[in-house]
Amino acid sequence: MRLFPRSAFGQTVFLIGILLLINQLVSYLSVVYYVIKPSYQQINHLIAKQIKVVFIDVEHNDVLLSEELTKRFQQATGIEVYTDATAPLNGLNDASYYPYFSDEMSIELGGPAEVRIAQNNSYAFWVKPPQAPQYWVKVPLTGLDETDFSPLKIYVFVIGFLSVAGGWLFARQLNRPLQGLQQAALKVGRGEMPDPLPEHGSTEIVAVTQAFNRMAKGISQLEKDRALLMAGVSHDLRTPLTRIRLASEMVSEQDSWIKEGIVSDIEDMNAIIDQFIDYIRHHKEEALDEEDLNLLVQEQISADRLQKREIKATLYDHLPLVPLRRIAIKRVLNNLIENALKYSDGAIEVSTGLERASRKVYVQVRDHGPGIPEHEMQRMFEPFAQGDTARGSGGSGLGLAIIKKIVDMHHGQITMHNHAYGGLVVTVYFPLSQTKTA
């Protein structure tokens, strides 16, 4: 089990707690050794003096106190003297033995003494003095009640609580900008451009926030420049491609195979250009809305059936609505089904489902092609990656990269695996809820 926290907030609170504990221990020991202990020694010293007064004229071996004398002494001082037989009847059995006071009293009285303290309704010291070991002297201590020490306990508790609460608030205030920075960085990682973060806090936090804002602004400008560049390239390429296609129409009938090759190449180039545009397109411009994933799948399957391939649909009944961007998700479905049609023969299986435990819905596409080697699957989501060895070549290698970009934007997840009976299975998960501004 890890005791030391890993987050900066947890480490700050942990450090403050350790320092507070050390401070409390030092304070407690200081009070004990410089306040309580001297007070106890003073009390012991005064009690020893009173006991010496009781036996001031009595020899060590010839102690005999009359009942009249003890009664008068009690009326004058409040100190009571009992024999070993009468002391238990007057509260000795309710008193506890204290070695520390016994040792100190032995030093004060010059011989072995025993001290017991009763803590019933009021404090009282029971002392067996060396001058008269057959007697017990009961010395009441007025004003020394157990509740007198409660302010020290309250002080320690209140100071500890306030220190921990203050440390927690301080650490929370210190780390709040870091939490905002983390959320903003996650948005940038999903291709979203957050608003500039407020620059407040310590100088180090302000410096990091300023650097992040400049970085986010640079990335945003880079995205705009890239989109503008691709739009320009697309426009400049489509114009000569259109001219080439028009020129191919003038090819004679006997050279029709040349025309067909030119037209096929032009269509492939247009498709590649479209994929580049799709990859840099800002799908976030489309608003999130509650959509029926089953309905989107049915619409896409109806469009793809024009290719005269069997597409089997298994849709989950009463699938809950999911916050989605309709056009972007249809592009995901289109790419998944197109890949399945392109790299396989036979039927395509499309299914939807619900995972109640993780609160996710999913759409799954399975083909009956050769699949993809396990070690290449993760690489397939990178731009321009192609599974050449397993599924043939061609295209720009942006299809799965576009899918992953859109899925990440929806806080979803995409996985793939080879089916036990052949073919590739691609599953896309979408959470049932997400913020509208995500």
pLDDT of 76 > 80? The answer is no
The confidence band for 353, taking pLDDT boundaries of 50, 70 and 90, is very high
* 291 in the same domain as 277: no
* 330 in the same domain as 253: no
Q: Is residue 158 part of a domain?
A: no
* 201 in the same domain as 129: no
pLDDT of 147 > 50? The answer is no
- Give the Cα separation of 110 and 101 in Å (integer): 14
- CB neighbour class for 337 (10 Å; exposed up to 12, middle 13-18, buried from 19): buried
- Give the Cα separation of 299 and 318 in Å (integer): 17
pLDDT of 336 > 80? The answer is yes
Q: Is residue 180 part of a domain?
A: no
Secondary structure (3-state) at 119: strand
Q: Is residue 160 part of a domain?
A: no
**Entry pTM:** 0.49
* 254 in the same domain as 141: no
Q: Is residue 2 part of a domain?
A: no
- Give the Cα separation of 346 and 338 in Å (integer): 13
Last residue of a domain, one of 137, 152, 167: 152
> What angle is formed at CA 17 by the lines to CA 11 and CA 19, rounded to 5 degrees?
105
Last residue of a domain, one of 281, 304, 319: 281
As a whole number, mean pLDDT of residues 202-225 equals 82
pLDDT in tens, 224-244: 777 777 777 776 777 788 878
The confidence band for 417, taking pLDDT boundaries of 50, 70 and 90, is very high
Q: Is residue 162 part of a domain?
A: no
pLDDT in tens, 286-305: 778 899 999 999 988 887 66
CATH number for the domain that contains residue 400: 3.30.565.10
* 249 in the same domain as 201: yes
* 122 in the same domain as 17: yes
Q: Is residue 161 part of a domain?
A: no
Last residue of a domain, one of 239, 263, 281: 281
Lowest mean pLDDT among 76-80, 193-197, 424-428: 76-80
Q: Is residue 438 part of a domain?
A: no
Total structural domains within the chain: 3
Q: Which residue has the tokens 């507070």?
A: 20
Residue 171 near residue 12 (C-beta atoms within 8 A): yes
As a whole number, mean pLDDT of residues 122-137 equals 83
* 26 in the same domain as 115: yes
Helix intervals (H) in 5-36:
8-31
CATH number for the domain that contains residue 220: 1.10.287.130
Can you give the pLDDT at residue 321? 93
Can you give the pLDDT at residue 66? 56
As a whole number, mean pLDDT of residues 39-46 equals 76
More confident residue, 297 or 7: 297
Please name the helix (run of DSSP H) or strand (run of DSSP E) that holds residue 80, with its range, or none.
strand 80-83
* 324 in the same domain as 262: no
CATH number for the domain that contains residue 105: 3.30.450
Q: Is residue 277 part of a domain?
A: yes
* 381 in the same domain as 318: yes
The confidence band for 434, taking pLDDT boundaries of 50, 70 and 90, is low
* 274 in the same domain as 247: yes
Can you give the pLDDT at residue 390? 44
More confident residue, 185 or 437: 185
* 422 in the same domain as 304: yes
* 266 in the same domain as 202: yes
Q: What domain range is 267 assigned to? A: 190-281
